[in-house]
Structure 1
Amino acid sequence: MSDQLDRASEFEELVRQQSIQKHRLKMIDKSAVRFCIDCEDELPPLRQQMGCNRCVNCQTIIEQRQRNYKKG
């Protein structure tokens, strides 16, 4: 039972963080994003040009969390 509660809690946190990030993006002009929205490290020029809002490391973490939750 606690595993289910832990997963539900993790999912809730993930959804909350995604909602906050979506709101942040609405507040910023995408072409002006120079820093990762999670760790605030400067994004490489190519990622800036592609309109990315996360560095490779933070994006990888997000994708792994999403994959792990789907496996549930």
Structure 2
Amino acid sequence: MADDIDRAQRHNERYQAQALDAWRNRQSSAAGRTHCIDCEEEIPLKRRQANPNAVRCIDCQREIEAHR
């Protein structure tokens, strides 16, 4: 029983580490992005100044948030 729990714990730790690495990569690649990842339209300068990590234009971001 303990072996199963240990294996599950290790699996969970690996999964969390991978998820955190992926998040960090997205964050570092978001800075300086000028175009929306969904519609590929330019993200307005004011939005980029207000949120340097924005990856979507405001319209696409609103749509994403509305469906959550």
Gaps of 5+ in 1: 1-18, 67-72
Structure with the bigger percentage of helix: 1
Pair 1:58-2:29 in alignment: no
| Percent of residue pairs identical | 33
**For residues 24 and 47 of structure 1, what CA distance do their matches in structure 2 show?**
21
**For residues 56 and 23 of structure 1, what CA distance do their matches in structure 2 show?**
22
In the alignment, what sits opposite 1:34?
34
Q: CA RMSD in A?
A: 2.3
- Give the 5 Å matches for 1:1-72: 25-26=26-27, 28=29, 30-49=30-49, 50-51=51-52, 52-66=54-68
Q: Kindly tell me the number of residue pairs found equivalent between the two proteins.
A: 45
**For residues 35 and 25 of structure 2, what CA distance do their matches in structure 1 show?**
12
Structure 1 ranges of 4+ moved more than 4 A = none
